[in-house]
Amino acid sequence: MSRISDNYGSSWQKKFSDWMKNGWDGLDENMAREDTAPREETPAEQTDLFTLKVREDRERQRDVYSRLHQWSVTTGARRIHAVYVILSLFTCGAIIFFLLQAVGGLPLYGAADSPVNNEVTRRYIEQGIEETGAVNFVSSMILDYRAFDTLGESTVLFIAACTVMILLRSDVGANGRPEKGSLIVSPDQSDGKPDPILKHAAMFLIPVILLFGVSMVLNGHLSPGGGFSGGAILGAGLMLFLNAFGRDRAVRFINYRTFITVIFTALIFYAGAKSFVFYTGANGIPFRFPLGTPGAILSAGLILPLDICVGMIVSCTMYGFYNLFRKGGF
C-alpha cells in the first residue's frame, strides 16, 4: 500500500499526474496569486513609507512593461521585419550568385564539343528514321526511344485531372453518378447570354482551329508538332466553343461521360500498347509494328496512334480543367 504524503498538493507525484492530465505548468503556482482580488488597504498602511515605496516600484515596473510591449508591437516589429527582409534578400542574392556561377561553368549552348553532342543524340539523328520510321526526330524520341517518360507525362495529366475532380467536382450525386440540376452555379447564372461578336468570330475561327489541331496531331511524326501541341490547340478550340455557344450546345457532344470515356480509352490504349512493346523489347521477342515508308502519313509504327492518344488526353484534360474550374462540373 502506498501512503499519500501530507503535502501531496505540492509533491512531485501530484505535479506529474497533473502534467499527465492536462499539461502542468511550473508557472501556475506563481501566477495563481495574481488572480486574487487586490487586498483593501488600511489607512495605516498607506502612510507606511515601505508601502509607498513598493507601490512606486510597482508603478515603475508596470510602466516599463507597457513601454516594452509598445516597443515590441511598433518599433520591434518593424526592426524584426527589416532584419527578415535583409536576410531574405541576402539569401536570394547568394543563391542567384551561386547559380550564375554554376551556369557560367556549363558548356556553351550549341557548341560542337559540348558533352550533349554524344553517341545518344547521334543515334537519334542518324538512325532515327531507319529505326522508328518517323521523320520528326522529336516525335521519334519522345514516343519511341523514350516512350516510357511520355507515358509518365500523360499519366501526370490524368492524375491532375483526377485531383481536380476530387477537389472541385460538385455535380456528382451520392451514388457517384452525375446528377442533373445539382450544380452549385446554375448554367443560366454563369453563362449569361453569349456575346454576338464572339459568336460570329467563333463561327469562323473554330473550324480553322480544330482542323489545325487535328492536322498537327496527325502529322506529329512528319513535321513539328505532335500530340501535346496539337492537343493544346484542340482544347483551346473547345473552350472557345463553350464560351461562344454556351453550355447547352457544348454538352450535346462532350459531357462528363464522354470526357472520362475518351481519356480512359486513350490512356488505356497508350499504356496497353506501350506495355506490349516494352515487354516484347525487353524479352527479346522479335515483333515490330510495320514502319512503312518514312514520310507517308501511315508510317512510323505506333507513333501515329500514340500521338492521337496523347492529343485526345491533352485536349480533354484542358477542356475538363476549364469546366471544373469554371463551375465544378460539365
Residues that bind another protein (CB under 8 A): 20-23, 98-99, 101-107, 114-121, 123-124, 131, 144-149, 151-153, 155-156, 158-160, 162-163, 165-167, 169, 172-177, 260-261, 264, 267-268, 271-272, 274-275, 277-283, 288
Please count the CA atoms within 13 angstroms of the CA of 17 that sit on its side-chain side: 6
Beta partners for residue 172, in sequence order = 178
- Would you give the DSSP letter of residue 76? I
Smallest gap from Cβ 20 to another protein, in A, equals 6
Pick 124 or 245: Cβ nearer another protein: 124
Pick 115 or 181: Cβ nearer another protein: 115
Smallest gap from Cβ 8 to another protein, in A, equals 18
Rg (CA), the chain: 36
> Would you tell me how many other CB atoms lie within 10 Å of the CB of residue 25?
11
Smallest gap from Cβ 106 to another protein, in A, equals 5
Cα of 226 vs its chain's centroid, Å: 25
Pick 150 or 243: Cβ nearer another protein: 150
CB 194 within 8 A of CB 276: no
| Alpha-carbon span 298 to 305, nearest angstrom | 10
Residues 6+ away with beta carbon under 8 Å from 234: 209, 210, 213, 214, 217, 311, 314, 315
Smallest gap from Cβ 267 to another protein, in A, equals 5
In the block, residue with C-alpha cell 499504356: 271
Smallest gap from Cβ 283 to another protein, in A, equals 5
Pick 46 or 170: Cβ nearer another protein: 170
Counting runs of H as helices and runs of E as strands, what totals does the chain give?
14, 0
Smallest gap from Cβ 170 to another protein, in A, equals 10
Pick 12 or 50: Cβ nearer another protein: 12
Decide: helix, strand or coil at residue 178: strand
Pick 171 or 191: Cβ nearer another protein: 171
